[in-house]
Amino acid sequence: MSHPPRSRAGKVIGSVVYIGALGIGIAIAIVAYVTFSADQPEAGDCVAITDADTAEPSWRGVDCGSAESDFLIAKVTAGSAACPPEYATTSRDTRRTSGVRLCLVPDVAVGDCLRVPVGGIETKVPCDEPGANERVTGVTSNTGGPAVCPSGTSRTAIYPDPARTVCTAPSAQ
C-alpha cells in the first residue's frame, strides 16, 4: 500500500514545526548555560560585599583594585569545608552545589578606609563616611606581620595565601 504524496502545505507546516522546536531547544540551552556558568567565583576574582551587616552577607563580582572591591578571593570551598581562621568568610548556596564558601583577603591600598562592624564583615568605605572606623596604613605582599607595618598601626592581619600583611589604625573620624 503506497501513501499518497504529501501536499505542499503539509511540508511547510512540518518544516515550521521542526524549526520552531529547534529554536526552543537552542533558547533553553542558552538560558541553562548562562544560569549555571554565571556568578561562579574563582580564586583571584574580587568581590564587593552587599548587606554586610547580616549573618550571611552576599557578594557580587567586581574589578580588583576598584573603589567598590572589598576582597580578593583567596580560596573557594564547597559544602561545609571551612576557611582558615585568618580569612574573612562568606557563603552562598548555588544550584550546582550544596554551597560555596569564599575565603577572602582584603583588596585594599594604603589610605583606604574600612567599616569594621562589631558583627558582620568589614567593607571598604569613603573615609568621610560616618561608619569609617579604620584606615589602612600599610599593605605588603608578604607575611612579615607587625614588623612590616608603620608606627601607629593598631591592627595587623596576616594572610598566608596570597601572602599579604594588612596594617590599620583608627581613622581620624
Residue ranges of alpha helices (H) inside the chain are: 8-37
Instruction: Tell me what pLDDT residue 1 has.
Output: 57
Between residues 24 and 155, the one the model is more confident about: 155
Instruction: Tell me what pLDDT residue 134 has.
Output: 94
Q: What pLDDT digit, counting tens, does each position of 42-55 carry?
A: 999 999 998 777 77
Q: Which of 125, 135, 131 is nearest to 172 (CA)?
A: 135
Question: What's the whole-number average pLDDT of the chain?
Answer: 82
Domain borders along the chain are 46-170
Q: Is the pLDDT of residue 17 over 60?
A: yes
- Tally of residues, the chain: 173
Between residues 89 and 69, the one the model is more confident about: 69
Q: What pLDDT digit, counting tens, does each position of 112-141 carry?
A: 999 988 777 899 999 999 889 999 999 999
